[in-house]
Structure formats: structure tokens, C-alpha cells
Amino acid sequence: MDTSYVHGYAEPEARRLGDQADTLAELLHAGTAYPAGSRVLEVGCGVGAQTGHLVARSPGAHLTAIDVSAASLTQAKAKVGADVDWRQADLFDVDETFDHIFVCFVLEHLPEPGKALAHLKTLLRPGGTITVIEGDHGSAFFHPRSEHAQAAIDCLIRLQADAGGDALLGRRLYPLLAGAGFDDVAVEPRTVYVDASRPGLVAGFTRDTFIAMVEGVEEDAIARGLTTASEWNRGVADLYRTTREYGTFHYAFYKATAHRTPGGAS
């Protein structure tokens, strides 16, 4: 599996992932809880930003969390401090069987997400479930409107595509899961709307999650010739305008669930 990660592994990114997970915990995890005794695989756990919420909502489940980065796993262990089976592994190297699989913000970074899902299906027991959560940067819109701000977001989308990923993957969850042979595929948008009446989201999502994510690719965007320093600074400044008194911001995540039907093909 390709391990390119457009956002990098530096401490600011780890902090951003934690802010995102905590701010959006109810939005993303509502409806996800696994029975006591069930075996659950979290794919691409990273620094454990989502793992802690999985443990809290399913305290009796047996959770295995994998990631390709040893450094990220070290941070995850320190952060979660729970009885989790942490493993440094590529998803294609896993060959055990699980009752449930959880995948959050992983497929968007893979060059062949459909191939990854097809393999994950082989790890799921008949009757088991998979839950996949992805964003879609094409769903971001905001006030005040700004072509410069949109251009900065487009730099991130382009860089992720050049790294083999797809920052617009959220809209593709249904065909990807259905194409991988999963049954009962259901996709639900989980929308974030932010204005000044929601200061927690202004700080936790618009500023510390989304804008921080865009700011994180500044150096690469300029070095690759996708923008100039002055254009970039104008775009980011305009993104920050959305966090002020009369600014608004909207974004949609997509949460999909599906089954491996008993008796179905591997």
C-alpha cells in the first residue's frame, strides 16, 4: 500500500488530527458502537485520534489498530492508554478475520481505494460490517466568498491527487463499496455548518481543523508552482475571514456502512 501522506507527520498535524476528532466526535461517531466481545479492526489509526472515541463507545470490544507509521503508533499508545492491540502493519498484510472494520480518513490517501476495500472484505466474517468515513473538499463553501480562498483549497486537492490520493473521495463511497462486493451499502452525509453562534466549531473545526489543514501544504504548494507566496497569503487570509463575526463555513463528511452477507463470495 502506498504510504504517501500529503499532510505529513509533524507535530502540528498530530495536533490537528486530535482537534478534528474531538470537535467532530459526536458528528462522526454517532451510531457507531460495537458489541462486547466483538473483534474490531481499525485501519490506519494514525496517532489514535479516532481510536480513543472507538474505545469509549465500545468498551467491551476487542480492538486491533493498525498503521504503517511506527512513530504514529507510539503517539497513539500514549494518547489512548487503553487495552488496544497496536500493530505496525500495511492493511494488505493483515490476514485475520474480524467482526467489524472501521476506516476513517484513510481511503482518500490511497492510489487504489477499491482494491483496499476488496481486501478488507476478505478480513470480514460473513455477517460482519464495515464503517467508512471520508471527507470531500469539494463540499467546502463559505462566506465571504473568495476565489483566492478557493484557489488555496484547490492547491491541497491537487497536491493530494499528485500523491496518489483523492481529496474528493467522499462522493465516491457508494460505488467504491458496492464495487468491492459489499452488500447493504448506505451512505449518509454528516454536515458541519459553522457561524459565530457556534464558537466551539469556529475554533475547533474551521480554524484548527480545516484552515490548519490547508496551511499545512503552503510550502509544497509554492515549491510546486501551484501558487505564489502573495496569492497563497491572500487565499489563507480570506479563509480566516470566514471565522469572523459574519462569516460562515460549510463542509460535508460522508459516513458509509455496509455488510458482508453470510454465504456471499469472498
Domain boundaries, the chain: 11-259
Q: Tell me the pTM.
A: 0.91
Closest CA to 225 of 173, 174, 132, 162: 162
| Percent over 70 (pLDDT), the chain | 91
Each residue's pLDDT tens digit, 42-68: 999 999 999 999 999 999 999 999 999
User: Distance (Å, rounded) from C-alpha 233 to C-alpha 252?
Assistant: 25
- Which H or E run contains 240? helix 229-241
Distances from the Cα of 19 to the Cαs of 24, 38, 145, 223, in angstroms?
8, 28, 25, 28
Q: How many CA atoms lie within 13 A of 207 on its CB side?
A: 14
In this predicted structure, what is the pLDDT of residue 154? 98
Cis omega (within 30 of 0) on the bond before 144? yes
Number of H helices, E strands in the chain: 11, 8
Distances from the Cα of 133 to the Cαs of 59, 126, 208, in angstroms?
21, 22, 20
Decide if pLDDT at 89 tops 60.
yes
> Which residue carries 453562534 as its cell?
197
In this predicted structure, what is the pLDDT of residue 8? 47
Decide if pLDDT at 241 tops 50.
yes
In this predicted structure, what is the pLDDT of residue 239? 98
Each residue's pLDDT tens digit, 5-44: 444 445 656 555 556 668 888 999 999 999 999 999 999 9
The values of phi and psi at residue 247, to 5°, are -85, 155
Q: Per-residue DSSP letters for 100-140?
A: EEEEES-GGG-S-HHHHHHHHHHTEEEEEEEEEEEE-GGG-
210 contacts 145 by C-beta, under 8 angstroms: no
Among the ranges given (14-18, 24-28, 152-156, 183-187), the one the predictor scored with the smallest mean pLDDT: 14-18
Handedness of CA 237, 243, 249, 251 (dihedral sign): positive
The residue with greater pLDDT, 20 or 236, is 236
Q: Which CATH class is domain 11-259?
A: alpha beta
Indicate the average pLDDT of the chain. Answer: 92
Decide if pLDDT at 3 tops 70.
no
Each residue's pLDDT tens digit, 78-87: 989 778 999 9
In this predicted structure, what is the pLDDT of residue 81? 79
Per the structure block, which three cell numbers stand in for 229? 507566496
Residue 224: other Cβ atoms inside 10 A: 13
